[in-house]
Amino acid sequence: MDNLKKYESIIKNVIRKYAVYYKESNLEEYEKQLVFDSENHHYFLMDVGWNDMKRIHFCLLHIDIKNDKIWIQKDFTENGVATDL
């Protein structure tokens, strides 16, 4: 398996685990959306929903693959996603 496919698989698995963790822990009541753009190598975990009358559309995680490297663009997880990659 080349690095790109290996990195993509790792990133997707880690983001899925975070989505399950947040859903099962009931820390937040917003819908977790996983957005995977395999063609352009962008991977997101989003919070989507409503808080009373306020619209919630928030990026918890944004990870890219650029120049054969993993780039953590945004990380709002408790302990940081880098150690899970």
Residue 68 belongs to a domain with what CATH number? 3.30.310.110
| CA distances for 31 relative to 2, 40, 56, 60, 73, angstroms | 33, 24, 10, 12, 21
Question: What dihedral angle (degrees, nearest 10) is formed by the CA atoms of 18, 50, 62, 82?
Answer: -40
Q: Is residue 33 a part of any domain in this protein? A: yes
Q: Indicate if the pLDDT at residue 69 is higher than 90.
A: yes
Q: Is residue 21 a part of any domain in this protein? A: yes
Q: Is residue 62 a part of any domain in this protein? A: yes
Average pLDDT over residues 33-46: 98
Report the Cα–Cα distance between both ends of the chain, in Å, rounded.
Answer: 17
Q: Is residue 84 a part of any domain in this protein? A: no
Q: What is the pLDDT of residue 37?
A: 98
- As for how many domains the chain has, the answer is 1
What pTM was estimated for this model as a whole? 0.90
Query: 21: domain range?
Result: 3-76
